[in-house]
Amino acid sequence: MESVQSIKQRFELIGNDPKFNRALEKAMQVAPTDISVLVTGESGVGKESIPKIIHSLSHRKHAKYIAVNCGAIPEGTIDSELFGHEKGAFTGATQTRSGYFEVVDGGTIFLDEVGELPLTTQVRLLRVLENGEFLKVGSSQVQKTNVRIVAATNVNMFEAIKKEKFREDLYYRLSTVEINIPPLRERQGDIHLLFRKFASDFGQKYKMPTIRLQEEAVAILQRYRWPGNIRQLRNIAEQVSVLEENREVSAATLGSYLPDMTGGNLPALVNQQKKESDFSTEREILYKVLFDMKSDLNDLKKLTLELMKENDSEKVQEENETLIRKIYGDKEESYEEEQPITEILHLPEPTAESTVKPQRPAPLEDRYHFAEEIQEEETLSLQEKEIELIKKSLERNKGKRKAAAAELGISERTLYRKIKQYDL
């Protein structure tokens, strides 16, 4: 078995950090097996080196190896790219096409940014991992494949699972062995080594002397947090190599190439503001409705009290027209679901002899009868009257529910419910 040092030389990997060395050791140990591997780490740390090491040290090393950037493939075509499609499966499918899992049969496939896969594709991938089966898009014929899957992501998978953006069962199937690559800021001893390697490569590439850093510049290099990790370090080395005439780089010169030097050593700020949940929004709306209902109820109590004290109901109605309209509306639509039809129809005015009695309030004219009194004394007769009114209205309108509902002053939905209720 090859040593870690020989693997570094073979794949041009630089660094002596213990965490980095441990990641390489795990890759070497798992390579001879067919276990699925999940490589995690921030963007730019060099995750793509691990699947290459695993493939080259496995028994599949003579078969095909392919890397697929899942985040770069549109959601509408990713199933076709991975699993293939049949002719005519969708617009533009002029011929049958083999997907990556069919082409790489017997080899290794590296799924980079696997956390970006759509949920429907995750279901297909889970089936491949469990029994090696897949279906082409537009086909009903099950196909088999023997592929070693190595996946990588810079997404916090537990957060993605919590937000239902990634399947929990797929995560545990992919991460049989998980290899984490540490960020560059945790490998301070490797930062200058990497910079010197990049500076040497660019000096040869552009045929110019290799740049060197002064001690103060090296200190700044190591203190910087490198949010873009090795990719950002490489870009800085290339910029300085090309743009600086003086090949001895000072701290001030290097600092001019590093963004946010003043906040470079500070931890990343986390946005503490959270969007209000749908529940909170609905709760606020519900509170508003309840307050409005309470206000209307108080107004209704006030109106009822005045009606009970006054014999001249027409005078009360005239003086409280605005309040009546607010409570009952013009067409009594707001009460049609709770009240029977007869409660919202105009009933005959009471006789002149009618008086208000404290122990039993007399019925008030028009639509202001009390529901308690109606239910207490005329429940059966009102129901019969209601059925009779519905039948007459339907006969008059030749069975047209919409016209009958308009005549009765209720909605068509309420009329339909009444028809079913009374089996008319």
pTM: 0.61
Distances (CA, A) of 135 to 97, 107, 162, 196, 302: 12, 19, 29, 49, 71
pLDDT tens per residue across span 203-224: 999 999 999 999 999 999 999 9
Going from N- to C-terminal start, the domains of the chain cover: 4-182, 185-255
| CB-based burial label for 318 (10 Å; 0-12, 13-18, 19+) | exposed
Q: Which CATH number fits domain 185-255: 3.40.50.150, 3.40.640.10, 3.40.50.300, 1.10.8.60?
A: 1.10.8.60
- Residue 372: pLDDT band by 50, 70, 90 thresholds? very low
CATH code assigned to 4-182: 3.40.50.300
Residue in 329, 343, 331 with CA at minimum distance from that of residue 371? 343
pLDDT tens per residue across span 390-405: 888 888 888 888 888 8
pLDDT tens per residue across span 254-304: 999 998 754 444 444 444 444 445 556 667 777 777 777 877 787 777 777
Strand partners, 108: 65, 148
Strand pairing of 148-153 and 248-249?
unpaired
**Dist CA 33 CA 268 (whole Å):** 39
